[in-house]
Structure 1
């Protein structure tokens, strides 16, 4: 099976290409990547060799709410705002554990190397860095929410 980093690289390659659909099968595992819109948003369509709980989460992932997308687009129009996006499909966590406080809150100052959240994918917890210095203006997702590749997570005033 492919490693998470290899899947990320495939997503980037497909995102920057004219390919609309890509399927990878190996030893009973299957990953299908498709572009959904003109913006070349790529998603993991199915993981057939994953444990049943992971398959259920992938199949039951809720569709993004259009109101949240409109709100995010309005915030993006401000040229001083940078969006931190999810580099993968997974579950968003605002803290390292349920007992710990969130990494950042609205108004928090961040540096480019600051960890702002965790995205869990297939039992791997991936720390997401801000990649820009500034102040968190808005948190666009809820703790425990399923997120997609490229989905905006935070807006940062650089």
Structure 2
């Protein structure tokens, strides 16, 4: 029996629920036992030939260490909505998906620094396959965009902060 075959047997026994394994063939005896520590020990491996008899060998093989389970915690910083009372909030009038432009290949309706009037369209909120254009309803300058393109928004959720003129 080749050493590679013995190694394969050790791996198989180590991965199985067997506690003990005995193999005998043509004067070769292999006995494998698992300890409580998870090691595999071969005992009494005897190879006989016509002129040479080897003494039994004890080989202890440590199993490969199990990789540690690492728990990864991702902390994202939630940016609080600025509580500046001079700023006006444009809020979502419905639950839906926020879009900054009418299609992916066109420019956003507004950006930070854009001047808007009461009738300016600032975004689209899609609800139930209907694309609803949202008007600013206030004059001023966009100071901050509070949501990302494609993000789900709730009724009353602030979308933009506007500094009045």
TM-score normalized with structure 2 length: 0.52
Q: Deviations over 1:50-87 (max 9, x none)?
A: xxxxxxxxxxxxxxx8824xx11xx1x21210000000
Q: Deviations over 1:75-133 (max 9, x none)?
A: 1x212100000000000000011110000000000000000000000000000000100
**RCO higher in 1 or 2 (8 Å CA, sep ≥ 6)?**
1
More helix by share: 1
TM-score normalized with structure 1 length: 0.54
- What is the match of residue 41 of structure 1? none
> Is there any run of 5+ residues in structure 1 with no aligned partner, and where?
1-64
- What is the match of residue 23 of structure 2? none
Structure 1 position 150 matched with structure 2 position 151: no
Structure 1's 82 and 147: CA in aligned 2 closer, same or farther, altered over 3 A?
same
- What is the match of residue 85 of structure 1? 91
Mapped to 2, the partners of 1:119 and 1:156 lie a distance apart of: 18
Mapped to 2, the partners of 1:66 and 1:106 lie a distance apart of: 21
List structure 1 runs of 4+ shifted beyond 3 angstroms: none
Q: Tell me which structure has the larger Cα radius of gyration.
A: 2
